[in-house]
């Protein structure tokens, strides 16, 4: 597959502690979905749909907290990063992989409960 361009599409809003100043900001995002757009010329554009998590002033020393609010969201991000690295081998979209991953974990726990 020939990828022509990669895009990030950011949606959502987040609460901020104070008014924004007239300086550059970095933002934290959480990937939610990847779409391939067929350009009809043998190439595809890859669109990473992300949710806005928080803005941070650029260059300011900030101790970063977790970019997600819950442990399950942090775990989903870890699974996503693994899927992203291995997606050529896995041959399934992220949602399918994520569901299969948890089905397997559920089976392992149920087996231990039955013992």
For each of the chain's 115 residues, which pLDDT tens digit applies? Answer: 788 888 888 888 777 777 777 666 777 888 888 988 888 888 888 998 988 877 666 655 445 454 445 777 778 888 888 888 887 787 888 888 888 888 998 899 998 888 7
**Domain boundary at 28, 44, 61, which?**
61
| Integer angstrom CA distances of residue 10 from 16, 41, 54, 68, 77 | 17, 26, 12, 16, 16
Dihedrals φ, ψ of 67, to 5°? -80, -5
CA distance 40 to 2: 12
Within this chain, do residues 32 and 85 fall inside the same structural domain, yes or no?
A: no
Give the total number of structural domains in the chain.
2
Q: What is the pTM of this model?
A: 0.41
Q: Residue 104: which H helix or E strand, with range?
A: helix 94-114
Within this chain, do residues 96 and 48 fall inside the same structural domain, yes or no?
A: no
C-alpha neighbours within 13 Å on the C-beta side of residue 66: 11
Question: What is the maximum span of the chain, computed from C-alpha positions, in angstroms?
Answer: 62
Within this chain, do residues 54 and 106 fall inside the same structural domain, yes or no?
A: no
Domain hosting residue 72, numbered range: 68-115
**Domain boundary at 17, 34, 61, which?**
61
CA distance 113 to 97: 25
Within this chain, do residues 1 and 57 fall inside the same structural domain, yes or no?
A: yes
């Amino acid at each position: 597959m020939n990828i022509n361009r990669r895009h990030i599409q950011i949606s959502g809003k987040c609460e901020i502690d104070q008014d924004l100043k007239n300086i550059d900001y970095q933002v934290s995002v959480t990937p939610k979905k990847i779409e391939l757009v067929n350009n009809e010329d043998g190439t595809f554009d890859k669109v990473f749909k992300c949710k806005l998590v928080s803005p941070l002033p650029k260059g300011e020393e900030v101790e970063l907290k977790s970019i997600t609010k819950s442990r399950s969201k942090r775990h989903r991000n870890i699974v996503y990063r693994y899927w992203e690295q291995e997606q050529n081998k896995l041959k399934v979209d992220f949602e399918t992989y994520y569901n299969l991953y948890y089905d397997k974990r559920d089976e392992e726990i149920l087996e231990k409960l039955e013992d």
